[in-house]
């Protein structure tokens, strides 16, 4: 009985966290839309499109590595610079 109560509570907490995360992403996307429009309008040299393409290639290579069974190291996942990994 106690295990069932813990499972229900854990499920509720996980669902609530997912709901808050999704709501936060929706609000952030709504708030960033005008900024993205201005950035795309000012992107004369095509830097943003090149960066997006590079990031998509990087994500695809990560997905292939996961499918092949290779894992990225724990140090790389916890690095404070992991968000800058797609930059050359």
Burial class of residue 86 in the structure, from the number of CB atoms within 10 Å of its CB (0-12 exposed, 13-18 middle, 19+ buried): middle
16: number of Cβ within 10 Å: 10
Mean pLDDT of the region 15-23: 92
Structure tokens, 18: 């997912």
Least Cα distance to 54 among 81, 77, 76, 87 occurs for 87
Confidence (pLDDT) at 23: 94
Q: Which two tokens stand for residue 21?
A: 């995360």
34 falls in which pLDDT band (50, 70, 90)? very high
Model confidence, pTM: 0.48
Per-residue pLDDT tens for 67-76? 776 555 665 6
Furthest C-alpha separation in the chain? 63
Count of CB atoms within 10 A of residue 39's CB? Answer: 12
């Amino acid at each position: 009985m106690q295990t069932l109560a813990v499972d229900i509570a854990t499920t509720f907490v996980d669902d609530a966290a997912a709901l808050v995360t999704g709501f936060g992403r929706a609000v952030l996307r709504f708030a960033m839309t005008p900024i993205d429009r201005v950035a795309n309008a000012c992107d004369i040299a095509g830097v943003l499109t090149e960066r997006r393409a590079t990031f998509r290639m990087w994500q695809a290579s990560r997905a292939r590595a996961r499918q092949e069974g290779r894992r990225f190291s724990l140090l790389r996942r916890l690095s404070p610079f992991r968000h800058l990994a797609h930059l050359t």
